[in-house]
Chain A
Amino acid sequence: MEVPLAYQEGWGRARVAAPELADRYVRHTAVGDPVADALMEELAGLPETTVTRWLRLGLETGPDAVQEAPDRLRAFFRDCRQVPEWFDSSRVLPASRAFFAHSEMILGAFVAAVLIEGFATLISKSFSITGRVVDQGVRRLQQNNRHLVEIFVPGGLEPGADGWKLSVRIRLMHARVRRLLRESPDWDEPAWGVPLSASHIALASTLFSALLLRRAAALGVVLSASERDAFMVIWRRTAQLMGVVPELLFRDEDGARDFYETGMRCEPPPGPESIQLAHALIHSAPIVSGLSGAAERQALASRIFTVSRALIGDPLADQLRFPPRTTRGVLRSLRWQYRTGRALGTLVPAWAARRRQAQFGRLLDVSLYSERGISWRLARHVHAEHDPVTRT
């Protein structure tokens, strides 16, 4: 097995605890998304306006709306609409209810911990080279928030629903950017593996699911076993739509946790790109929150650095060059505040109802919406600054 240079040391460490999983992880750093990559190969050279139109019609209306499109594309549209027998939108409603009941803390854990931990891997290379987080950090964060919201809205993963569409769009965008990066002199495949590799997509799906549950719990979010199970099913379906290859698709929370623990051991330590992206993300969050004053933004960013350090731990925070802070009592205080608020809601249901409405409204405020709907225009250039800013 050819092991990309960057993974050799970590792979050796990871094999001690989980040799088969470590081998599978590293093997798939040399793999992209075979189905979507073949599709991008076939669409290469066709007029972009045509491709955009096909994607919009095929995904918004259905494969029959694009009879003139290549068979491979129409087959892709049909396959995306196949719902696996283990997924039922009605059965995962407990997770939808739980997500929106705890959305502020879950989103907080997502931004302050999970996204940053994801960027602490070689995932950061792709985003840094393309500039699609550094240059467009605010927009990217709003897009991530919107995606998270839509997959948890009841029915959001039904074929044709917004969560379904956004998940498939992510898959297609990854395939396009993967192709652009592989053609770019900026990408060193013998050292780093395939850009946006199968392992990275799978790793992200496990971080956004199992690790997110863990980090949200640290902030005081308590979910029942059935809510956790349903949460993982929603993310499993989302991961499938995002193109996670079958050999790496997690089955449940335990499997997802084993995968991300092994994956994170295989990954090299965070480099300059990880540091850059983590800082860009934290400094984007106050802007996304709607703060306009520089002092207010700085204060919130400072707070996020502290909470993030408490969640991800001092070793990683130091590697990412977070400001040194004491985190003693930070999480305990946050949990206490959150649970006190929840207890008040139990005692005063009308207040809880108003709080829920306000919380949902804030969720909409930090997500990206466009009057023109979802953009199906794929990246045309490896560097974002040479691509016009896209809509949703």
Chain B
Amino acid sequence: MSESPWDLRRENGRTVIRLEGALDSATSPLFGRFLETALGADDTRIVLEADGLRLISSAGLRELIRLVKRVVPAGGSVTLAGGSELVVEAVKIAGLGAFLLAGEPAVNAEAKAPLWGRLRNFFVRS
């Protein structure tokens, strides 16, 4: 990779970072360094614009986890806007859905079912 594929703009109190291509073993170390240098203490509401993000690997998820751990405990937020079906699934699988996916419930649909229904489903699967 010869240049950073991400651009950052600040608007309406949000810090928007555009993601393209893949966040993987090749690009994630660079992305991590980019975040270290580009983000300041005032960047507390971060939006990752991911319509152009095709793939994410565990290396990329690792950087997102670091970003969430940096921003969220201090009262900030990180949101993933867009992203392919595979990217969104990967984010959910990593347990990051509740933080990154706008409108994603903190618990999944099955968990919202009545307790008796959840127990029945558990034992049927077992």
| Residues of A near any B CB (own CB < 8 A) | 60, 89-90, 93, 96-97, 100, 146, 149-150, 153-156, 158, 160-163, 165, 222, 224, 339, 342-343, 346-347, 349-350, 352-354, 356-361, 363-364, 367, 369-374, 392
* B107–A349 CB distance below 8 A: yes
* B125–A361 CB distance below 8 A: no
B contact patch SS: helix
**B interface size (C-beta, 8 A):** 36
Complex Cα distance A352/B93, Å? 12
List 19 A-B residue pairs with CB atoms under 8 Å apart, sorted by A's residue number: A100-B93, A153-B58, A153-B61, A154-B93, A155-B55, A155-B56, A155-B87, A158-B54, A158-B86, A162-B58, A346-B118, A346-B121, A353-B106, A357-B95, A360-B61, A364-B58, A367-B58, A369-B59, A374-B26
* B85–A347 CB distance below 8 A: no
Given known A100-B93, A353-B95, A367-B58, contact A89–B107 (CB-CB < 8 A): no
* B56–A153 CB distance below 8 A: yes
- How far is the CB of B108 from the nearest CB of chain A, in Å? 7
Complex Cα distance A275/B108, Å? 46
Over the window 81-111 of chain B, the binary record of Cβ atoms lying under 8 Å from chain A Cβ atoms (1 yes, 0 no) is 0001111011001111010000000111001
Minimal Cβ-Cβ distance residue in A for B115: A347
Q: Which chain A residues lie closer than 8 Å to B111 at the CB level?
A: 346, 349, 352
Q: Which chain B residues lie closer than 8 Å to A354 at the CB level?
A: 95
* A353–B26 CB distance below 8 A: no
* B96–A357 CB distance below 8 A: yes
* B56–A346 CB distance below 8 A: no
- How far is the CB of B20 from the nearest CB of chain A, in Å? 14
Other 10 A-B pairs with CB < 8 A, given A153-B57, A356-B95 = A160-B55, A161-B55, A162-B57, A224-B125, A342-B122, A349-B107, A354-B95, A364-B65, A369-B62, A392-B25
Question: Which one of B25, B54, B55, B115 lies within 8 Å of A373 (CB-CB)?
Answer: B25
Q: Which chain A residues lie closer than 8 Å to B94 at the CB level?
A: 100, 357, 360
Q: Which chain A residues lie closer than 8 Å to B43 at the CB level?
A: none
Q: Which chain B residues lie closer than 8 Å to A96 at the CB level?
A: 89-90, 93
Q: Which chain B residues lie closer than 8 Å to A357 at the CB level?
A: 94-96
